[in-house]
Amino acid sequence: MFSYWEQQSFSHYDHIVVGAGIVGLCVAIGLRERYPQASVLILERGLLPTGASTRNAGFACMGSATELLDDLQHASEPEVVGLFAARKKGLERLRKMLGDNKIGYQENGGYELISKQETAALDKLDYLNGLLKPITGKDAFKPASERLSEFGFAGAYSKALIENTCEGELNSGMMMRALLDMAAQCGVEVKTGASVLDFEEEEKQVIVRVKDPFRTDVWPLSCSTISICTNAFTKSLLPDVDVTPGRGQVLVTQPIPGLKFKGIYHFDKGYYYFREIDGRVLFGGGRNLDFETENTTDFSLNSLIQSDLEQKLSDIILPGMHFQVAQRWAGIMAFGVNKYPIVKSFSTRVYGAFRMGGMGVALGSETAAQLVAQHEAI
């Protein structure tokens, strides 16, 4: 049962965006900029964005050498280069939009550890640089094996090191705080704890049914357009889309005295990634150990992968050094038949941007801009 005032002032919006992650916030901000007089509402089912936006590693990257070489086994050169370009453009848009200081952006170096089985990648760096130079304007990858001993990584695994010259790092919490602040300044309304059950497109509007955690009623909101930006959770609203969830396991250590490296690092085709943050090591990945279990939207920890992360932390990253794990968590990414995001107008009133392929930090703002550009005037 709803009051007259609730129905009058809180039941209709020009645009509703589902999902308050990077993409959803950028879409909402973009709609307000494009249509300054329009009312824009974001509906977020969690207290915070529940997916990957606040649970990632804060990598500002476009793909490591072995990851790109692996991609080229399954996709054409123009496809791989085009996706690299989209990631670069997205990062540049995000930095320009928010400012480096507000997102904690830094360039402390980006590197990839190369195992014995991957040393052939060193012979492909000129090839990759040739493909990417029209986009980067410089060599994206450089041999850097002379720094292995400086960083203290175990020689038993790390036979070479590649510098990724286009990479940076940011603070994911600061980034999301900055996006939320910008949305508020733009006049975007955000409702958290608002789980969208379903929606129905009518001739002149869309009815969005929202679960209210305080009362048993289902709250029917109406809007002129709905934009679905729910990444790995999109199938609950659009069951036929090509989206497969992929859980990512992460841990962070207590501060480690004498830590020898800064910056961000990858190994094993990008399936593992680690960085220094506040004198700690943040380490994540390993879903390739257990794809079947990790294709889920459940935020539980995977003990097999968490144990593997600890073992690799001890054997590869911090050999001979004492560390303690301070926190563990999981985030949910979205994948599909290819690594390109889905950006689509399903009708003149229903839109969607999702499936970031684990690169939401890089792709999110540019993907959102593409979706906003597809919206027709109302």
Q: Judge whether 117 lies within some domain.
A: no
Q: CB of 17 within 8 A of CB of 321?
A: no
Calpha distance 249→172 (Å, rounded): 16
Span 247-269, mean pLDDT?
Answer: 96
Span 64-68, mean pLDDT?
Answer: 97
Same domain, 279 and 344: no
Question: In the prediction, which pLDDT does 108 show?
Answer: 93
Span 76-84, mean pLDDT?
Answer: 97
pLDDT of 169 > 70? The answer is yes
Reported confidence tier of residue 217, pLDDT bands at 50, 70, 90? confident
Same domain, 232 and 311: no
Q: Judge whether 347 lies within some domain.
A: yes
Span 48-53, mean pLDDT?
Answer: 82
Query: At 271, is the secondary structure helix, strand, or coil?
Result: coil
Query: Any idea what the CATH number is for the domain that residue 361 is in?
Result: 3.50.50.60
Share of the chain above pLDDT 70, in %: 99
Same domain, 321 and 271: yes
Same domain, 208 and 330: no
Question: In the prediction, which pLDDT does 9 show?
Answer: 87
Reported confidence tier of residue 3, pLDDT bands at 50, 70, 90? confident
Same domain, 253 and 314: yes
Reported confidence tier of residue 51, pLDDT bands at 50, 70, 90? confident
Which residues span the domain enclosing 366?
4-53+174-242+338-374
Question: In the prediction, which pLDDT does 378 show?
Answer: 58
pLDDT of 7 > 90? The answer is no
Same domain, 189 and 295: no
Same domain, 253 and 307: yes
Question: In the prediction, which pLDDT does 215 show?
Answer: 80
Span 10-23, mean pLDDT?
Answer: 96
Strands (E), the chain: 12-18, 40-44, 59-60, 110-114, 141-143, 160-164, 168-169, 189-192, 195-201, 206-211, 218-228, 244-253, 264-267, 272-277, 280-285, 325-335, 342-345, 350-354
pLDDT of 42 > 70? The answer is yes
Question: In the prediction, which pLDDT does 48 show?
Answer: 82
Question: In the prediction, which pLDDT does 2 show?
Answer: 79
Span 285-293, mean pLDDT?
Answer: 96
- Per residue in 322-364, pLDDT (tens digit) is 999 999 999 999 999 999 999 999 999 999 999 999 999 999 9
What are the tokens at 45?
Answer: 């089912």
Query: Any idea what the CATH number is for the domain that residue 281 is in?
Result: 3.30.9.10
Report the number of distinct structural domains present in the chain: 2
Same domain, 295 and 324: yes
Same domain, 304 and 249: yes
Question: In the prediction, which pLDDT does 137 show?
Answer: 96
Same domain, 186 and 318: no
Can you name the residues that pair with 141 across neighbouring β-strands? 164
What value does the mean pLDDT of the chain take?
A: 95
Question: In the prediction, which pLDDT does 119 show?
Answer: 97
Q: What is the pTM of this model?
A: 0.96
Same domain, 8 and 49: yes
Question: In the prediction, which pLDDT does 291 show?
Answer: 96
Same domain, 284 and 311: yes
Place of tokens 């909402």: 28
Calpha distance 217→212 (Å, rounded): 7
Q: Judge whether 215 lies within some domain.
A: yes
25 vs 50: which has the higher pLDDT: 25
Q: Judge whether 80 lies within some domain.
A: no
- Per residue in 236-247, pLDDT (tens digit) is 999 999 999 999
